[in-house]
Chain A
């Protein structure tokens, strides 16, 4: 089972690689766009700022778009979820725009970043949330939150100052604001769901 992890030069991919290995997948770190071919699934991680990620990720935009159109399951994580949207209050760079909507700053009424474990409110059935319940906690670290225009993409939300998109899905495109690779057993379950879906 080969899963590509897009290594576009931001942050440490050690955790996501370790977590995928733990659930029996064979992750490959992809550093060049031309290497992103014939994978059963693609993980787009992301840490740091929206603009920083987009600047580095832009050279992968074409191959990722092709993978998406060909039906390859794609999973965005944290800023890797935010870049799927049109743009962010954090940076002037444009996002990939695969999901309509913007990324906004968390409100001043709460400590920013949201850092820690929060529960989900599941909005629809989707492959990656199979077996996950509203009582399970996931590890969030973020200062900005995605606001999809079309709420039908919302798979789960979490409450932090306002209702935040925690997971979105549309066909073969999935994304989570939290870090499944840092969310204990339940996080590993989500990665396992993704890998299982990618295998079908």
Chain B
């Protein structure tokens, strides 16, 4: 039986030679967490199922630093590595794979030019193409967008561009469905409202997407403890849960989280 996955996410600031892992709250208030390849190796040894690196600086002159991070990690870490942030072209995609990544995640670029999803899927296979969606809750019925019942009433979810800096009215749930059509192999779904808050995953958002796509969904944003992961796995069809802060700042180890889930009947790899 296929196990639910636990994925530590490393947001990387590449302004220093080997990069540094940082973590914000609701995409702001950045805090230092460690060296990317060292943290990745620790999580691998603790039993992480996959590692995600996101380049939050996403500037092209720091691309070489990201390659060094991937290369250093891939030497020690024998689980899948997904890399994203600032991927603008198929050339960027190629160089990320060449450095040793197994999957790329695309976000703003895919929103602006959806064709890149099909291009990646054709060249590397759907499994290598993760579409990342940063979704912000908007209260109210949303005027033709997919309406999602939330504790705050009917809401819809809007995609953010450029890591939360811009919005253009795109319906996040509908975009996930379109991304699947275009050949995405997986959706990395982040709730911007929950990100870094420790308040738990956005269950209505996660559920709404899982019900509408037939590809794996990674729930992200808001994980504050193992109970939150139990909740998202027991109440939605999410295939994986992504977390950052709880692992970076030592509140929970990856193995500890998995033990907790396993004790409560969630099938995980131990």
Contact = CB atoms under 8 A, between A and B. Distances in A.
Contacts of B124: 11, 47-48
A15 B75 CA distance: 8
A39 interface: no
B1 A47 contact: no
B185 A115 contact: yes
B206 interface: no
Interface of A: 11-12, 14-15, 18-19, 22, 47-49, 111-119, 137, 139-143, 159-160, 179, 181-185, 187-188
Chain B interface size range: 20 to 34
Interface stretch (B12-20, B95-103, B157-165, B189-197): B95-103
Contacts of A142: 127
Given A47-B128, A116-B4, 11 more contacts: A11-B124, A114-B2, A115-B186, A116-B49, A116-B216, A159-B1, A179-B80, A181-B78, A183-B79, A185-B78, A188-B78
Contact of B2 (A48, A116, A143, A183): A116
A111 B100 contact: no
A8 to B, nearest CB: 14
Given A14-B100, A19-B78, A182-B79, A117 B2 contact: yes
Best-surrounded residue of A14, A49, A118, A183 (most CB of chain B within 10 A):
A14
Contacts of B216: 111, 113, 115-116
Contacts, number: 92
Best-surrounded residue of B74, B124, B127 (most CB of chain A within 10 A):
B127
Chain A binding surface, main DSSP class: mixed
B78 A143 contact: no
A109 to B, nearest CB: 10
B126 interface: yes
A18 B216 CA distance: 28
Contact of B269 (A11, A14, A48, A117): A117
B74 A14 contact: yes
B44 A184 contact: yes
Given A48-B123, A111-B214, A184-B44, A15 B5 contact: no
